[in-house]
Amino acid sequence: MATNHHAVLPDEPEKATLEGKNKVLGFWLFLGGETVLFGSLFATFIALRDQANGGPTSQALFDMNLVAVATLLLLTSSMTSVMATLALHKKDLKKIQLWLTITVLLGLGFLALEIYEFVHYVNEGLKMSTSAFSSAFYTLVGFHGAHVAFGICWIILLQLSATKKGLTVVTAPKFYLACLYWHFIDVVWVFIFTVVYLMGMIGGKVG
C-alpha cells in the first residue's frame, strides 16, 4: 500500500503505480493535442510563407549554417534525453542526472542560437508586424522556442528536486514525462527544419 522509499524500485518505475500509469497515458494524450496545435500553426505558416509584403523573404534571410548547428544541437539533445530514459529503466539516478544535464546544456545552446537568430532577423528588418510571413514565422518558431524554454526549466526543476527526493515511484514518472516531452519538441523541430527552413531556402513558390 504505502510507498517504501528504501525498498527496491520495481521495473519500469514510471508505470509502477496507478498514478504513474495515469500520468503516462494522460501525457501521451496531451501530446496528441499538442500535435493538433502545431499542425494548425504549420498550416497557417504554409498558407502565409510567401507573403513577404515587400519585407525580407525567407530566401533572403535564412542561413543554412546557423540552422544546421541548431538542428544538430537539438537532435543530439533528443538522443541524450533517451539515454536518460534508459538510465531510468536501469534505476540509475546518477546517470539520469548526467544525461539530463547534457540535454539541458544542449537545449540552452539551441535556445541561444534561436535568440541570436531572431535578433539578427529583427535587425535585418523582419519584425512581427512586417508581413504575414514574419508574423507566421515568429509565431510558429517562437511557439517551439517557448516549448524548449519551458522544457529546460522543467527538467532543471526535476533534477534539483530529485537530489532531495531520490528516484522513487513518485519522481520516476516525472522524469519519464519530461523526456517524452523533450522528444516531442525535437520531432516538431524536424518539421520546422523541413517546412520552414529547407522549403524556405529553395527558390520561389512551391505548387
Binding site for another protein (CB under 8 A): 1-4, 18, 21-22, 25-26, 29-30, 32-34, 36-37, 40-41, 43-44, 47-48, 51-53, 127-136, 139, 154, 157-158, 161, 165, 170, 174
Helix, strand, coil content of the chain in percent (nearest 5): 75, 0, 25
In the complex, the smallest distance separating the C-beta of residue 154 from another protein, rounded to whole angstroms, is 8
Nearest distance in Å: CB 139, another protein = 6
Taking the least distance from each CB to another protein, the nearer of 85 and 131 is 131
> Would you say 77 or 131 has its CB closer to another protein?
131
Name every residue whose Cβ is closer than 8 Å to that of residue 121 and which is 6 or more positions away in sequence.
Answer: 56, 61
Q: How far is the CB of 202 from another protein (least distance, A)?
A: 20
- Closest contact distance (angstroms) between CB of 155 and another protein is 11
- Closest to another protein by CB, 128 or 198: 128
Specify whether the CB–CB gap between 149 and 115 falls below 8 A.
no
Task: Give the CA distances from residue 22 to residues 29, 85, 94, 172, in Å, rounded to whole numbers and listed in that order.
Answer: 11, 18, 26, 13
Contact in structure between 24 and 176 (CB atoms under 8 Å) = yes
Which is nearer to another protein, 146 or 190 (by Cβ)?
Answer: 146
Numbers of helices and strands, H then E, in the chain: 7, 0
CA 158 to chain centre: 16
Smaller CB separation from another protein, 42 or 193: 42
Q: How far is the CB of 142 from another protein (least distance, A)?
A: 10
Give CA–CA dist 192/207, Å, rounded.
Answer: 19
